[in-house]
Amino acid sequence: MKKSKSWLLACLLGFGVFLYACKPSDAKLQKEVNDKLAATTPGVIAEVKGGVATLSGEVMDDATKSAAEASAKEVKGIKSVTNNVMITPPPPPPPPVVISPDDLLKTSVDSVLSAKGISGVTATIANGEVTLTGTIKKSELKTVMQAAAEAKPKKINNKLTLQ
């Protein structure tokens, strides 16, 4: 009887060691969880201790945070999940591109002069005022001034040289 008790105790001890040895290690579980997270929710990592996965990282929304937790829970051997993932709002949109009214005016004046076939005239713009320079025939002056006026500047400064 004593031998059978000893043998039974040895079997139970061996069975217990066998069950403990079959349990996945924290390192193996951590690798499995992190592999799964890398595929489903990049930016989230896990640390596993005692079968408990602790998630950390940053995501854009609550749905992604929940998805990371669900992915970690799917790994066989994970007892529970502590979700320490932070939700960070998306960055603000870039400020709108501001186009200088002088740049628009310059483009407008240049295109009108070009459309009217006027060459030899340079338009410079500062604070909404157009300054015309260059050399033109006296007969072209009225056309040049009308063309510059079409852009609706604050003022037109005539520095043209007439031939």
Q: What is the CATH number of the domain that holds 137?
A: 3.30.1340.30
Whether this prediction's pTM lies above 0.75 is answered by: no
Verify that 32 and 57 share a domain, yes or no.
yes
Q: Give the CA angle between residues 128, 148, 101 to the nearest 5°.
A: 30
Report yes or no on 3 lying in a domain: no
Judgement on whether residues 106 and 158 belong to the same structural domain of the protein: yes
Considering the domain architecture, whether residues 125 and 150 belong to the same structural domain is answered as yes
Please choose, from the candidates 13, 83, 19, the residue with its C-alpha nearest in 3D space to the C-alpha of residue 47.
83
Alpha-carbon span 132 to 125, nearest angstrom: 9
pLDDT tens for the chain, 163 residues long, are 556 666 656 555 555 555 555 567 889 999 999 999 998 888 899 999 999 999 999 999 999 999 999 999 999 999 999 999 999 988 889 888 766 688 888 888 888 888 888 888 999 999 889 999 999 888 889 988 988 888 888 899 999 998 8
Domain that residue 158 falls in: 101-162
